[in-house]
Structure 1
Amino acid sequence: MPIRTNRGRTAVYRRLWGWPLRSPRHLVGTLVFLAILVTVLGIVLPKTMGKPATAQPAPSATSSARGPGLAAPVPTPSTLPTRLSSPLATPTSAPPNPEAVNVAKQWATAWVNHPAGISNADWLNGMRALTTDEFLPVMSTVDPSNIPATRVTGDAAVTSSYTSSVQVVVPTDGPKLSITVVNTGAGWRVADYDQAS
């Protein structure tokens, strides 16, 4: 008999939603039904959406001949290419480039040149042509009045040299500077510096 009133329809809905809470057996039965439903949907939906479900290997004639309880051979995993398909090349040692050493010494001379009252922009202009574009923003944060050196006190010494970069130590009347000079393609430029130990 069709339900004709809203009151009757509400009563039917209340009975349907209240059924799992009537007894522990109803609740367990409902949970088992929902678990089965979710499992079936997890298998069926990927197939209907065009994504293959995880395929189980078909038993071969040799595995069925082994009998129950014997493990099937483990398939070997496929080797997938990584993003770096070839190993990174180790930098090649090279004799020190005189131009790189000269750039390091000129840069150190400009670094120690900070008369009282010089602005960061004016101080940085003395090193701009000798510094990489990427390192200039870092140098723009340095306050020249905090630099504890005023002159270069000796010759530059190469500590490591490669085809595309050279590490140079330049002594000053403050700390020794460890300067990294790189070949940018447009010439040698300073890419980093630190206090040498």
Structure 2
Amino acid sequence: MPIRTNRGRTAVYRRLWGWPLRSPRHLIGTLVVLAVVLTALGILLPKAIGKPGQTAAGTGSSATSTSRPGIAAPVTVTSTLPPRLTTQPPPSSAPPDQDGVRVAKEWVTAWAKHPDGTTNEQWLNGLRPYTTEEYLATELTTVDLARITASRVTGEPVVVSSLAGSMDVDVPTDGPKVRVTVAKLNFGWRVTKYTQAG
């Protein structure tokens, strides 16, 4: 029997919308059904509609068919897209700068110079003209001078790698060979890191 009055319709609507709020079980059931419906729509709609601009077989070219009046067969238009760069090219090498090599050698000379009785502050002051302030404050202040076995530079430095703004230089000592990284800053070359060369 059809509902003929507005009051009857309102009661039916109130009953439908109020059903989920009658008990916690009704509310949870309604939320589960709603989640299933939304998930199904999210999966099925993109498949039914299709994705615009989809490329053929994952390549860089996409083909679209267009019909023109007066032409029986469809015309295929193919566009080739340029490849997308996924990685940055490696920095280009540059010829070694002799000022940077000189700074590396002088830094290792000051690093190895720590006769008995030298305090950490005196040692750091010897390194200060050749070192960045950040590296001096963060790393070199924790160095234990007793663990430095070298006392002097024994040969000429060798440039291991040279880029436009930095270099890695190996400096031989009477202890381990020291690899120094120097960077070109506004005020000249400065040491930013050192390790024992392999």
Secondary structure of the corresponding residue to residue 152 of structure 1: coil
For 1:194 and 1:38, locate their aligned partners in 2 and report how far apart those are by CA, in whole Å: 60
Q: Helix, strand or coil: the match of 1:75?
A: coil
**Which residue does the alignment assign to 2:133?**
133
- Residue 173 (str. 1) matches residue 149 (str. 2): no
3-state secondary structure, aligned to 1:127: helix
Q: 1:74 aligns with which of 19, 29, 50?
A: 50
Q: Greater strand share, 1 or 2?
A: 2
The percent identity for this pair of structures is: 43
Distance of 1:174 and 1:76 partners within structure 2: 66
Q: How does 1:116-155 map to 2 (within 5 A)?
A: 116-136=116-136, 137-155=138-156
- Residue 90 of structure 1, CA deviation: 2.6
Q: Secondary structure at the match of 2:191?
A: strand
1:126 match: secondary structure: helix
Structure 1, unmatched stretches of 5+, are 1-28, 41-53, 59-70, 79-84
After superposition, residues 42-57 of structure 1 pair within 5 angstroms as: none
Give how far 1:33 is off: 2.9
Task: Please give the per-residue CA displacement for 1:26-65, whole angstroms capped at 9, x wherever unaligned.
Answer: xxx742433425877xxxxxxxxxxxxx8x969xxxxxxx
Instruction: State the 1:129 CA deviation.
Output: 1.4
Q: Cα–Cα, structure 1 residues 128 and 89, in superposed 2: closer, same or farther, change >3 Å?
A: farther
CA distance, structure 1, for counterparts of residue 158 and residue 105 of structure 2: 10
- SS of 2:160's equivalent in the other structure is strand
Q: 1:115 and 1:182 mapped to 2: Cα distance?
A: 28
Gaps of 5+ in 2: 1-22, 35-41, 55-84
Question: What secondary structure does 1:134 align onto?
Answer: helix
Aligned residues: 143
Q: Cα offset for 1:192?
A: 0.5
Q: Distance in 1 between matches of 2:30 and 2:188?
A: 69
Judge which range, 114-123 or 168-177, deviates more. Answer: 114-123
Between the aligned partners of 1:134 and 1:89, the Cα distance in structure 2 is: 28
1:91 pairs with 2:85: no
Q: CA RMSD in A?
A: 3.4
